[in-house]
Amino acid sequence: MAEPLLAVRDLRVVIGGRHILHGVDLEVAPAGVTALLGRNGAGKTTTVRAVLGLVPRSGSVRLGGEETVQLPTHAVVRRGIGYAPEDRGIFTALTVAENLRLAERDPEPDYALVHSLFPELKQRARQAAGTLSGGQQQMVAIGRTLLNRNRLIIADEPTKGLAPKVVTEVAQVLERAAEAVPVLLVEQNLAVVRRLAGGCTVLADGRTAHRGATAELLEDAEAARRLLGVGRHPAATPQEARP
């Protein structure tokens, strides 16, 4: 088996005297989509923020074999992690082109890749980002992570609060992005997870409760109920099953 791109071991976070993470283990495959799952409050967003160094943490976080747990956030990012946060972080008053330009980090940002994956962003370059649909805004958020030579994209709750039609659009966005760069996906919509993620880690109460193949977990009704609080495994709709 290929070595994981990201390997997290015994990740612990204490904020204001409160223990949030109690020893999370997580691996991200070197290709495709890996899902980070769990009920609300399980510690998913704290885990990705800890990987990025946005909260105090201890344990081990290795990216491509290099230990990063002692590095500040800017140094972690420069080693090749792109982050699409839960709220997308779009500057609504700026144009699509300006939003992308602000994310440039490399001397030669890869606009060719971004526009090949998301040609709509080139077509809407002069449009205010706040006038885009939710799916189009997610294209901007993911596109920003692809401009630079990142080795990993972290997408936190990219379908949260979106209408079903837009959820399908965002799933297509992530699917295209994962063809270029591996993705760690934090997601509650299990139909999207089923479609995109080969492997998954499930958190419960700030600890790793399960690691394995996504399909096997979602086919096991008892495990899905116990770990994720769903009564049966989700069946993807025809629109969600195919681009």
User: Which of 33, 6, 79, 7 lies closest to 187, judged by CA?
Assistant: 33
Instruction: Compute the distance between CA of residue 207 and CA of residue 24 in angstroms, rounded to an integer.
Output: 5
Q: Please report which helix (H) or strand (E) contains residue 190, including its range.
A: helix 190-196
> What tokens does 101 get?
């330009």
Instruction: Compute the distance between CA of residue 65 and CA of residue 11 in angstroms, rounded to an integer.
Output: 16
Binned average pLDDT, 10 residues per bin, the chain of 243 residues:
90 96 97 96 96 97 97 95 90 97 93 91 96 89 91 93 86 89 95 96 96 96 89 44 37
Give the chain's domains with CATH numbers: 6-234 (3.40.50.300)
Beta strands, E only, 112-195: 152-156, 183-186
Q: What is the pLDDT of residue 239?
A: 42
Q: What is the pLDDT of residue 242?
A: 38
Q: Among positive and negative, which fits the CA dihedral 5, 31, 237, 132?
A: positive
Q: What is the pLDDT of residue 238?
A: 34
Is the full-model pTM beyond 0.85?
yes
